[in-house]
Amino acid sequence: MFDKTDPAPGTDTADIPVTRRIETDICIVGAGSGGLSVAAGAAQMGARTVLIESHKMGGDCLNYGCVPSKALIASAKQAHAMGTGRPFGVTPAEARVDYAAAKDHVAEVIAGIAPHDSQERFESLGVEVIRDYARFISRQEVQAGGTVVRARRFVIATGSGPLVPPIPGLDAVPYLTNETIFDLRERPGHLVVIGGGNIGIEMAQAHARLGSKVTVIEGARALGKDDPELAALVLDRLRAEGVEIVEGEQVERVTAEGGVTVHTGNRSVTGSHLLVAVGRKVKVDGLGLDKAGVAHDRKGVKVGADLRSKTNRRVYAVGDAAGGLQFTHLAGYHAGIVVRSAVLGLPAKARTDHIPWATYTDPELAQVGLTEAEARKRHGARLTVVRAAYAENDRARAEGRTDGLLKVMVVRGRPVGASMAGPMAGELIGTWAMAIANGMKMQAISGTVLPYPTMGEIHKRAAGAYFGPKLFESDLVKRVVRLVQRWLP
């Protein structure tokens, strides 16, 4: 394996004769979510735009990440539903899973979205697309194959790929990553997952529902970036569905014994297939950033809040390459910042306090802003944490999906974070992302009228939990009400 942003082994731009030179306004390296968004915006606003991509248009999200994983999860959800209808008066039936057909569904979903990200579409927008490896050869020039592009501004949008840790023996056994698991046509008999983050946990539940035995091995705490109380709701569901989750066990080595065997300090687990999902590696190696005078490290390009390189102001970085949170929607947000700055010449800075994320398990897990622990550390006694349980939501009761919780962290009447675990949490978290992004107060939530019954009413219940004590437990309010009642005609 080699990083897809690197030239193929043995290739050096110095060995490739230059056959063409281009001068342009903006040159983007990488056709994932962030790069495509910058290219579309820049070209449609009239900037001369060049987009360089060495692999698949659409990047990791379309081809190996968000899209295929959610498509496979949808297949797994259908299989699971067949055996869980008894509480609703529906006799359970054993799901007969055609794993290859489920993968056909994944491929069809990708194919349906691909034209939107295609080279043809972007060329129709006026973007010049070059399909080759890119490497900086100076502070103002990139070479891709035989073409040298000289640009006023560059945008590095190379994304990230699966991190493969140096586990002894791993290079001697077959293993899967998110870049290869969706090509698998035969259902794993026993899938062993190294890594309990969102990718590992999502794939664990999906494969368990599709009929595989699944074991997850996590060196620390599974779903460790999320609120522990809410993560526990998700992990308990997975365990109830038969997924074995081993936490606090570091993998020491891997051997080919009866399949693939993963050894920790206290146990050995043998499976038919191994998925490595321990994290992501930013793709900046091989770009020649040193020749461009662009400071970087293993986390990505060192940028300021304006997403510009701190050492070469002609260069921007977006998405994973910018060295922060690694989400497709963040890359799209970054693209808007760069278009504003590099195309329109307007000041723009990125922020992260309003960026949500979600893990698409069942129940879903979502977060925006500060977790409870982070908020307590930052705001101390000024913090109020309000809770609303799905069990108190009438729609959740009607659907028999009452396992879930919303927690909102509030400081001086404004939400600074929200954590959710439960049905549609990834959809519902958007309300709090909007509130935090726009500095809204809890009063805006409580004053919103929502259709009944909907899951979204959980937001109003949280707002009610915030205002309730102030209104119903206040002696002052009660005295004022008594006076008002005395004087009302």
- Please name the residue ranges forming H helices in 298-424: 328-338, 372-379, 394-398
Annotated binding site for NAD(+): 195-202, 218, 279
Is residue 6 over pLDDT 80?
no
Residue 12 confidence (pLDDT): 59
Q: Alpha carbon of 257 to those of 76, 169, 253: distances in Å?
A: 29, 11, 12
Q: What residues does 282 pair with on adjacent strands?
A: 160
Average pLDDT over residues 138-147: 97
Residue 294 confidence (pLDDT): 98
Annotated binding site: 70, 158-160, 195-202, 218, 279, 320
**Domain covering 13-57+118-161+281-343 assigned CATH 2.40.37.10 in the classification:** no
Asked if 406 and 233 count as a contact pair (C-beta separation under 8 A), the reply is no
Kindly state the tokens that stand for 169. 């023996």
Digit-coded pLDDT (tens) for 74-126: 999 999 999 999 999 999 999 999 999 999 999 999 999 999 999 999 999 99
Average pLDDT over residues 432-450: 97
Pairing of strands 141-144, 147-156: antiparallel
Share of the chain above pLDDT 70, in %: 97
Where exactly are the structural domains of the chain? 13-57+118-161+281-343, 170-279, 356-472
Asked if 419 and 367 count as a contact pair (C-beta separation under 8 A), the reply is yes
Distance CA 368, CA 370 (A): 7
Residue 488 confidence (pLDDT): 86
Distance CA 106, CA 370 (A): 34
Burial track 15-35 (b if 16+ CB lie within 10 A, e otherwise): ebeeeeebebbbbbbbbbbbb
Q: Under CATH, domain 356-472 is a member of which superfamily?
A: FAD/NAD-linked reductase, C-terminal dimerisation domain (3.30.390.30)
Q: Model confidence at 9, in pLDDT bands (50, 70, 90)? A: very low
Share of the chain above pLDDT 90, in %: 91
Distance CA 263, CA 86 (A): 40
- Please name the residue ranges forming H helices in 210-262: 228-240
Average pLDDT over residues 448-466: 96
Distance CA 422, CA 403 (A): 6
Strand, helix or coil at 257?
coil
Asked if 306 and 341 count as a contact pair (C-beta separation under 8 A), the reply is yes
- CATH topology identical between 170-279 and 356-472: no
Determine if residue 58 is left, alpha or beta; phi over 0 gives left, psi from -120 to 50 gives alpha, anything else beta: left
Distance CA 176, CA 183 (A): 10
| CA-based nearest residue to 130, from 203, 29, 43 | 29
Residue 10 confidence (pLDDT): 38
Kindly state the tokens that stand for 190. 């026993």
Is residue 257 over pLDDT 90?
no
Is residue 14 over pLDDT 80?
no
What is the chain's mean pLDDT, rounded?
A: 94
Digit-coded pLDDT (tens) for 148-203: 999 999 999 999 999 999 999 999 999 999 999 999 999 999 999 999 999 999 99
Place of tokens 């919103």: 448
Residue 2 confidence (pLDDT): 30
Is residue 486 over pLDDT 70?
yes
Average pLDDT over residues 475-487: 81
Digit-coded pLDDT (tens) for 320-374: 999 999 999 999 999 999 999 999 999 999 999 999 999 999 999 999 999 999 9
Kindly state the tokens that stand for 56. 């698949």
Domain 170-279, CATH among 3.30.565.10, 3.90.1750.10, 3.50.50.60, 3.40.630.10: 3.50.50.60
Residue 468 confidence (pLDDT): 81
Digit-coded pLDDT (tens) for 383-400: 999 999 999 999 999 999
Residue 32 confidence (pLDDT): 96
Torsion of CA 60, 120, 100, 77, to 10 degrees: 60
Is residue 5 over pLDDT 50?
no
Asked if 148 and 18 count as a contact pair (C-beta separation under 8 A), the reply is yes
